[in-house]
Structure 1
Amino acid sequence: MLTLPKLTMRLKNKVIIITGSCTGIGKAIARKAVSEGAKVVIHGLDEAPGKELVSEMGNDRAVLHIEDLTREGAAERLVAIALQAFGKLDAVVNNAALVKGSDIHSTTLPFLRSILEINTIAPFSLIQAALPHLTETRGAVLNIGSVNAYCGEPNLLAYSISKGALQTLTRNLGDTLNRENHVRVNQINPGWVLTENEIRIKREEGFSDDWETKLPKVYAPAGRILRPEEIAAAAIFWLSDESGPISAQVVELEQHPLIGRNPPKDMSVFEG
């Protein structure tokens, strides 16, 4: 008789802060993490879906914090909530991001600064605040970047700059903190993901309700774009002890080669 290996929870009793986890990729990561035995700090700006998610997971497994990460002391408060609720901190997932279109002509300096504050400076601040506690647990940081870090879409200039900077942050700290603090820092760069926010943005841009079913092969060779749950499945490896001492790595989750692939501005194929 074939004996199957006993399944174990890959994140059993690990405490993880996940920013931007009331919806989208962050929500999927939170759900997957809890299913693997973790306790999580849910964070976001929209209280209603956050409360619903905590209720789904249970108060013994999740706690909610609603706050703009650009506020002074926000990072320290997130860390304090994790310690107060669960007594330690094993990992941080920097997922929260602001996605707004701009190009060289429309990107003002205040706009660029606002994107950098959320997408690059806030992750740095949270790593800095969490570091003493991650050092104690030999923990991990997982940054959620974007394939736009390499070249970027023409209409996502500021966003692409911010994700390029986040990638450099990951490479730099992933080396330094692994050597000096035994804290691993890695990054996932997702491609195009069908999140609630992406659906909302496309509707606001005038795309048809069924745009995701009309994707040309240049965007989606498989006939569809990625789902948040697929990003979450990959995230668990980097948050678990399975990834061992691996640090300073950036992994692309996309269905086509991405270096040099720069989609055109005209996406009218989805409209109408």
Structure 2
Amino acid sequence: MRLENKVVIITGSCTGIGKAIAERCVDEGAKVLIHGLEHDQGVALAARLGEENAALHIEDITLPGAPERLVEKAKNTFGHLDAIVNNAAMVTSSNIHSTDLAFFRRILEVNTLAPFALIKAALPYLRERHGCVLNIGSVNAWSGEPNLFAYSVSKGALMTLTRNLGDTLHREDGVRVNQINPGWVLTEKEIDRKRAHGLADDWYKALPNVFAPAGRILWPAEIAAAAIYWLADESGPISGQVVDLEQHPFIGRNPPKDTSTIAQSGK
């Protein structure tokens, strides 16, 4: 039990990577606060994990007071708070031509400013427990695809936030802050996005080798397995680190030009 008696808030955990992290946390002995906008999926997940292990909070994380309400619910339900996982994100296609300021601000509010606000709200309690923060970024933080402009910028900003606070909070408050950058992951929302682009539901079964050397893309459970290390005490004093989780080198790679029209997507 690598997370025995730990209490973890996981934003965006009604589906996808967040759901997989919540499930794995409970398997490892933690209590979790599930959060998101998908009410029915959240209720089903909380019921499956059991009321002794999981509570549910449905709310837009960018609303005034939402981070504080998440923290208070975790503390009131389980008695303390050991960790937060900033997983909630908007993954929306855009380029410089389709991105206006209102859209850009919304992406930054969800993907960058909401994690900051939740860290700030949770800090007094994390300090008490010498807890930790795990931010879920994206390999697109390094530059991103042309059609993931605003999303990529928001994840780049999150990466800098992680490195900065991973130093500051560790020295001043004893709170570690780290980040994992998933590559292309087969989530429910990724299937929905590709369906909206007109692809068949089984598009992921025949991907070009340049995108999926392993013959498939990543599963949410594989990201969750990596997340446990950063939430557990076994990661020791490590802080301010960003780890890419992809099946090929992301920086410096020079893939062939005749690739498929199936574009990669972010976390």
**Pairing partner for 1:77 from 69, 73, 78:** 69
Within the candidate set 142, 150, 173, 2:134 is matched to 142
User: Is structure 2 residue 252 aligned with structure 1 residue 268?
Assistant: no
| Aligned counterpart for 1:204 among listed residues 196, 210, 217 | 196
Q: CA deviation at 1:269?
A: 5.3
Paired with 1:22 and 1:238, the residues of 2 have a C-alpha distance of 21
Read off the aligned partner of 2:67 and give its amino acid letter.
Answer: A
Q: TM-score, normalised by structure 1?
A: 0.94
Alpha-carbon distance in 1 for matches of 2:51, 2:181: 31
Alignment partners' CA distance in 2, 1:191 and 1:46:
23
Q: Secondary structure at the match of 1:268?
A: coil
- Secondary structure of the structure 2 residue equivalent to 1:143: strand
Q: Who is 1:17 aligned against?
A: 9
Matches within 5 A, 1:35-54: 35-54=27-46
Change in 2 beyond 3 A, CA 1:262/1:18: farther
Q: Are 1:106 and 2:107 matched, yes or no?
A: no
The Cα offsets for residues 28-84 of structure 1, whole Å up to 9 and x where unpaired, read as: 000000000000000000110101111111111100000001100000000000010
In the TM superposition, what are the counterparts of 1:87-126 in structure 2 within 5 Å?
Answer: 87-126=79-118
Shift of 1:209: 2.0
Q: Does 1:241 align with 2:236?
A: no
**Secondary structure at the counterpart of residue 215 of structure 1:** coil
Q: Distance in 2 between matches of 1:141 and 1:269?
A: 34
Question: How far, CA to CA, are the matches of 1:244 and 1:196 in structure 2?
Answer: 33
Q: Percent identity?
A: 69
Amino acid at match of 2:60: D
Whichever residue aligns with residue 146 of structure 2, its letter is P
Contact 2:208–2:260 (CA under 8 A) maintained in structure 1: no
State the 4+ residue runs in structure 1 displaced beyond 4 angstroms.
260-264
Once the 2 structures are TM-superposed, how far is the Cα of residue 213 of structure 1 from its aligned partner?
1.1
Query: Which residue of 18, 26, 31 maps to 1:26?
Result: 18
**Helix, strand or coil at the partner of 1:197:** helix
Q: Of the candidates 222, 237, 240, which is equivalent to residue 230 of structure 1?
A: 222
Contact conserved, 2:170 with 2:177, CA < 8 A, in 1? Answer: yes
Conserved? CA contact 2:207–2:216, under 8 Å: yes
Matched, 1:56 2:36: no
Please state whether the residue corresponding to 2:186 is helix, strand or coil: coil
1:156 partnered with 2:137:
no
Match for 1:229: what amino acid?
A
* Letter of the structure 2 residue corresponding to residue 75 of structure 1: P
1:183 aligns with 2:213: no
Change (3 A) 1:114 1:40: same
Amino acid across the alignment from 2:261: S
The amino acid that maps onto 2:144 is G
Matched residues, number = 262
> What is the root-mean-square deviation of aligned Cα atoms in Å?
1.5
Q: Offset at 1:193? A: 0.1
* Deviation (angstroms), 1:173: 0.1
2 CA distance for matches of 1:18 and 1:230? 16
